[in-house]
Amino acid sequence: MLAYVLRRLISIPLLLLGVASISFLLTQMTKGDPLAALVPERMMNNPEIVATVKAEWGLDQPLPIRYVRYLGNLVQGDLGTSFATRRPVAQDIAERLPATLELVIVAMVIGTIMGLSLGLLSARFRGSVFDSVARMFALIGSSLPIFWSGLILLYLLSVRLSLVPGTGRLPPRISPPEHFTGFYTIDALVAGDLVLFGQALAHIALPAFVLGWSVTGIITRLVRSSLIEGMSLDYARTARAKGASERVVLVKHALPNAMIPLLTILGFTFAYLITGAVLTEAIFSWPGIGSYAVRAAASLDYPAIGGVTIVGSIAFLLANLLTDIAYAWANPRIKVNT
């Protein structure tokens, strides 16, 4: 177990180096001129700015030295300066990260709850109409273009039915709670402001549901198939022989075993969540790093896109590492040479 975790830990810096190298190569490819990736077009004729940037990133140096300079800047947290906001990309991202994390975490909770309950119920009533409806609901969630389902639900639930508020994290002209975690729901609770908490919760509900729905499919499918498999195994037969009802066998015996495969796909669902978050944030004007990336991509703000990509990859690698560790801990059988 320890050796396995250590091996995974060692691989992380190597993968990060690989990620940084590919990102570096991409900046070198930009319009055939790496300078274009660092200086906005309209500032190209300002010799002072061009000289400063060239010196910082070593653009007058040969490729290997530029590479070392790039890695050096990266290690110090320097991701360049955004063309659009004219501020360090790292600072922009740090400010916007809590909004994205809050959205992704709430979505993950919603997706897991929906996936678990749908999987559980469709395994219990296997072959019934309910089973088909639940699986269809889950499948549609993972097949919908999230930027479209968000739009349509926003129209239906907000514009037509006024059930949920519109876009953004809070109603217009309401100031956010004092910064503590950056999660508006938690910060509002910490400040003891229940009204603000309700508003933050109402605003996050729809985007988090849309995002959570997109991962419900994978979770439902997995939970259902592992439960059905578990119900046919010896331990289930033993439990039945001892007089346990189907419900008890399912919930007390099969369900805990279905949790282990669920752990393995959490890292995988995280990839979906990042993709989904980028697009959801764009639709719901959510001020996180996803909408920042979309804005950056549309306006060809290269340092910003590069920065988000590197930060996103770090998050992705860490999520996968945590998944692996959790899995190794939950299932001691895998401490072998994988």
By the rule CB under 8 A, 59 interacts with another protein: no
Structure tokens at 194: 């229940």
Calpha distance 82→133 (Å, rounded):
47
Q: Please spell the DSSP secondary structure of 94-121, one letter per residue.
A: HHHHHHHHHHHHHHHHHHHHHHHHHHHH
- Please tell me whether residue 85 binds another protein under the rule CB under 8 A: no
Both tokens assigned to 220: 């439902």
The residue length of the chain stands at 338
Given candidates 30, 117, 264, 331, which one binds another protein under the rule CB under 8 A? 30
31 scored as a contact of another protein (CB under 8 A): yes
In the complex, minimum distance from the CB of residue 320 to another protein, in angstroms, rounded to a whole number:
8
Q: Which of 204, 9, 190 is nearest to 108 (CA)?
A: 204
Window of 82-90, 150-158, 196-204, 329-337 that interacts with another protein by CB under 8 A:
150-158
Asked if residues 220 and 119 have their Cβ atoms less than 8 Å apart, the reply is yes
Q: Taking CB under 8 A as the rule, does residue 249 contact another protein?
A: no
State yes or no: residue 133 binds another protein (CB under 8 A): no
Of 78-86, 102-110, 141-149, 180-188: span binding another protein (CB under 8 A): 141-149
Q: Which of 94, 191, 251, 297 binds another protein (CB under 8 A)?
A: 297
- Residue 292 touches another protein, criterion: CB under 8 A: no
Long-range contacts of 62-65 (CB under 8 A, 24+ apart): 63/28
Report the residue from 5, 26, 191, 330 that binds another protein according to the rule CB under 8 A.
26
Nearest to 73 by CA among 94, 59, 92, 83: 59
Q: Burial of 2 by CB count in 10 Å (0-12 exposed, 13-18 middle, 19+ buried)?
A: exposed
| Distance in Å, CB of 33 to another protein, minimum | 11
**Residues making contact with another protein (CB under 8 A):** 15-16, 18-19, 21-23, 26-27, 29-31, 37, 139-140, 143-145, 147-149, 151-152, 154-155, 158-159, 225, 271, 274-275, 278-279, 282-283, 293-294, 296-298, 300, 302, 305-306, 308-309, 312-313, 315-317
